[in-house]
Amino acid sequence: MVANMIGAGVFTTSGFALADLGEPHFVLTAWIVGGAIALCGALSYGALAQRHPESGGEYLFLSRRVHPLAGFLAGWVSLLAGFTAPIAAAGLGLQAYLGETFAPDIRPEWIGTFAIALAGLIHALRFREGVWIQNLAVAIKLVLIFGFIAFGLSALPPRPEATGDPAPFAIGAFAVTLVWISFSYAGWNAAVYIAGEVRDPERALPRALLLGTGVVTALYLGLNAVFLYAAPVDALAGRPDVGAVAAEAIGGASMRQAVSLVVALALFTSIWSMVMAGPRVYAKMAEDGLFPAFFRADGRTPTTAIALQTGAAIAVLWWTGLADLLGYIGFTLGLSSAATVATLLAGHAEEGAARQRGFGQPWVGILFIAATLFGAGFMVQREPTQAALGLATALAGVPIYYAFRRWRPNTVVPGDTKET
């Protein structure tokens, strides 16, 4: 979870958000609100995971609790917006930091391509060792990031007095910023994708969802306090490498290089963890007959699905830009998560509170859905192209689903047997 969450978003989003909101404290407030929304989502998914402790994430929940088509659309969204686009975004962030600081003469796309290909190769060959190496890398990453936060907060320059009128608060820009920030928090649901491979999932998954989200929220607030107040607004606004700019402002070129390496480690472990989690969704869909059979897991490692994930992410990396990906991912994944949490609320209404597990339900789930739809509504108004691409991604899965069902008409998938 931590590896999934600490990725491209936290190291790139604030520069774009600052260009829209104009004031650092508005951006920091958006990170606080985004963390609260993510915690509501994590609590809701924890309740769902207790009822369905199997791998598959939104695909599994929606298939079992709504309809196989709903589950397929969630899996389809996971393939494109849930994993492929975020992996590409992490690769683009890696390029922004390493290319700008260490290799300005190299075409930056090759940096992200190498990182994604390496992660796919290691996971395809040695899953158990890949997890061990990732856990070690994440531990090192956390120590270094907390060290940077401690140093940065102690070395922040005094803020100059404002010389003009402060930027007005714009509710529409704030809502769109929440959509971007939701991408940074999106990994809070990562644990449910590998639930079938976790010991004691009914106990471990809710704990991991809650604690992982809480730790990362605190870390994000510390990082952004340093990023947003280390340099003038003009130097940070619109920059994808906002962390490197802030580091140079408080510690010079050597600090910029050091922070760029820490961010590179963070982004690579994010790529690594998503390449691990995403293919298990496609493998589960293949087992249920809603994806070609050769994507099923071979033993414990879905090698073919990993190859698909790796190739698709590299293709997106070469095709698009970081700012466009942030809005597209946040909007599309937000709607998928809101639909999933809605199934929990439906179960609460049908079965009654006595049979529903989960802290604060149904109110926590209602708050999550309302906040998600609030941001999505303004996203449609202010960034219609990105919102339209998100909706088109989901709708494109409908004919594909029915094509698979006609191809394998006798396949029984979760939800067909009325298991719930």
Segments of 193-314 assigned E as strands = none
The ranges assigned to domains in the chain are: 2-157+169-407
271, pLDDT greater than 60: yes
Torsion of CA 260, 263, 268, 271, to 10 degrees: -130
299, pLDDT greater than 70: no
User: H or E segment at 7?
Assistant: none
Query: Please, which pLDDT band fits residue 418 given cuts at 50, 70 and 90?
Result: very low
Tell me the per-residue pLDDT of 340-396, one tens digit each, with 9 for 90 and over. Answer: 888 888 765 555 554 555 667 788 889 999 999 998 888 888 888 888 988 998 899
Q: Give the residue from 286, 246, 300 showing the smallest Cα distance to 97.
A: 246
Torsion of CA 137, 44, 207, 85, to 10 degrees: -10
CA atoms lying within 13 Å on the CB side of residue 403: 7
| CA angle centred on 190, ends 294 and 269, rounded to 5° | 90
Tell me the per-residue pLDDT of 40-60, one tens digit each, with 9 for 90 and over. Answer: 988 888 777 777 666 566 777
What pLDDT, on the 0 to 100 scale, is given for residue 209? Answer: 78
What pLDDT, on the 0 to 100 scale, is given for residue 117? Answer: 93
Q: Give the residue from 158, 168, 179, 236 showing the smallest Cα distance to 30.
A: 179
CA distances to 19, 120, 210, 263, 288 from 277, in Å: 33, 11, 18, 21, 18
Q: In this prediction, what percent of the chain has a pLDDT beyond 90?
A: 13
Higher pLDDT, 51 or 236: 236
29, pLDDT greater than 90: yes
Rounded-to-integer distance, Cα 91 and Cα 311, Å: 13
CATH topology of domain 2-157+169-407: Amino acid/polyamine transporter I (1.20.1740)
Mean pLDDT of 289-296: 78
Higher pLDDT, 193 or 43: 43
What pLDDT, on the 0 to 100 scale, is given for residue 420? Answer: 38
